[in-house]
Structure 1
Amino acid sequence: MLLHSHEARLVMLLRQCYRSPRCLPARRGERLYTTMRVLGPPPPDLELGSRALDEFNRWSPEHVAILGGGITGLVAAAMAARLNPDSKVTVYESSDRLGGYVHSEVVQSSDGPVVFELGPRSLRPATARGYHGLSMAQNLGLEDNMVFTSKDSPAGSNRFIYYPDKLVRVPSPNDGRLRVFYKLLTDPLFEGVAGALWAESQVPRRPDSLVDESIGGFITRRIGGNKKLVDNIFSAVIHGIFAGDINQLSVRSLMPRLWEAEGRFGSLSMGMVRNKPEGYGPNGISDLHKWGDQVLFGQALGEKARQASIYTFTNGMQTLPDALERVIKESKNANIMVGTSVSGISSSPDGKTILIKTSNNKPAQSYSHVISTLPAHNLCHLINIPALSLIPYTTVMVVNLYYKNPHLVPQPGFGYLIPQSVPFKQNPEFALGVVFDSHATPTRGHYWDGRSADELPTPEEGQRMAELVLARHLKITDKPDQVLATLHKNCIPQYTVGHKERLQS
Structure 2
Amino acid sequence: PMRTVAVLGGGIGGLAASYYLSKSPQVTKVILLESSGRFGGWLWSTRRSDGAVFEHGPRGIRPAGAVGKNTLNMVNSTCHYSHVLKEQILYVNEQLHRMPSGPSGLLRTAPPFSRPLVLSGMRDILSRRGKQEDETIHSFVSRRLGGELADIAIDSLCRGVFAGDCRKLSVRSCFPVLYNAEQRRGSIILGMLLGSGPGPVVPPGPLAQRSVTESWAQWSLIRGLHGRVQLHSEAAVTKIRPSETGWKIDLEDGVVSADHIISALPAKALSSALPPSCQPIIKQLQDISTVTVAVVNLEYEGLWSPGSFLRGSRSARVVYDSVPFPEHNRPEGHTTRLTVMMGGAWFQEVFGDPESVTEDDLLARATEGVQKHLGVTSAPSWSRVVLQRDCIPQYYLGHFQRVESIRSFIKKNNLPLSLIGSSYDGVSVNDVIFGGRNAAEELLGSVV
- Common topology (TM > 0.5): yes
Distance in 1 separating the partners of 2:91 and 2:289: 28
1:38-65 deviations in Å (ceiling 9; x for gaps): xxxxxxxxxxxxxxxxxxxxxx311110
Would the alpha carbon gap of residues 436 and 502 (structure 1) be closer, same or farther in structure 2, given more than 3 Å must change? Answer: same
Note if contact 1:190-1:229 (Cα within 8 Å) is conserved in structure 2: no
Q: Determine whether 1:238 maps to 2:162.
A: no
Distance, in Å, in 2 between the alignment partners of 1:337 and 1:435 is 34
Give the aligned residue type for 1:337.
H
Out of 263, 267, 282, which is 1:376 matched to? 267
2:318 to 434, 456, 465: 434
Whether the 8 Å CA contact 2:10–2:40 is kept in 1: the answer is yes
How many residues of Structure 1 are paired with residues of Structure 2 in the alignment? 381
Tell me the residue number matched to 2:284.
387
Match of 2:46 in 1: 105
Note the C-alpha offset of 1:126. 4.1
Q: Kindly tell me: are residues 382 and 313 of structure 1, through their superposed partners in 2, closer, same or farther at Cα, counting changes over 3 Å?
A: closer
Report the alpha carbon displacement of residue 418 of structure 1 after superposing the two structures with TM: 2.8
Letter paired with 1:503: V
Cα offset, 1:186, TM superposition: 3.9
- Residue 227 of structure 1: aligned partner: 147
Distance (Å, rounded) in 2 between the aligned partners of 1:262 and 1:357: 46
Q: In the TM superposition, what is the alpha-carbon distance from 1:465 to its structure 2 partner?
A: 1.0
Within the candidate set 213, 226, 238, 1:306 is matched to 213
Tell me the TM-score normalised to structure 2 length.
0.79
Give the structure 1 partner of residue 367 of structure 2.
467
Deviations 1:273-325 (A, max 9, x none): 432575687xxxxxx8xx42xxx236xx73355322222244xxxx22xx23x
Q: Give, as a single letter, the amino acid of the residue that structure 2 aligns with 1:393.
A: T
1:123 alignment partner in structure 2: 61
Q: Which runs of 4+ in 1 moved over 4 A?
A: 276-281
Shift of 1:85: 6.0
Map 1:206-285 → 2, pairs under 5 A: 206-207=130-131, 210-223=132-145, 226-275=146-195, 278=198
Residue 179 of structure 1 deviates from its aligned partner by 4.2
Contact 1:265–1:271 at 8 Å: present in 2 too?
A: yes
- Cα 1:279–1:227 change in 2 (3 A) is closer
**Deviation (angstroms), 1:342:** 0.8
Secondary structure of the equivalent of 2:178? helix
**Structure 2 residue 242 is the aligned partner of structure 1 residue 347:** yes
Relative contact order, CA 8 A, sep 6+: which one is greater?
1
Q: TM-score, normalised on structure 1?
A: 0.71
Distance 2:158 2:236 in 1: 33
The partner residue of 2:71 within 126, 133, 143 is: 133
Q: Displacement, 1:228?
A: 3.0
Is contact 1:394-1:449 (8 Å) kept?
Answer: no
> For residue 251 of structure 2, what is the aligned residue in structure 1?
358
Alpha-carbon distance between aligned partners in 1 of 2:193 and 2:81, rounded to the nearest angstrom: 35
Identical aligned residues as a percent: 29
Which of residues 190, 199, 205 in structure 1 aligns to 2:129?
205
SS of the counterpart of 1:123?
Answer: coil
Correspondence for 1:193: 117
Q: Which residue of 1 aligns with 2:20?
A: 79
> C-alpha separation between the residues in 2 aligned to 1:271 and 1:125?
20
Structure 1 pair 84/190, CA: closer, same or farther in 2 (3 Å)? farther
1:313-353 alpha-carbon deviations (Å, 9 max, x no partner):
44xxxx22xx23xx2xxx2xx311111111111211x4x32
Tell me which of 343, 354, 357 is aligned to 1:453.
Answer: 354
The one-letter amino acid of 1:227's match is G
Q: Is the 8 A contact 1:242 1:494 kept in 2?
A: yes
Separation of aligned partners in 2, 1:306 and 1:232: 31
Distance of 1:275 and 1:73 partners within structure 2: 31
Alpha-carbon deviation of 1:180? 3.9
**Deviates further, 265-274 or 70-79:** 265-274
Contact 2:136 2:170 in 1 (8 A): yes
Residue 206 of structure 2 is aligned with which of 275, 297, 319? 297
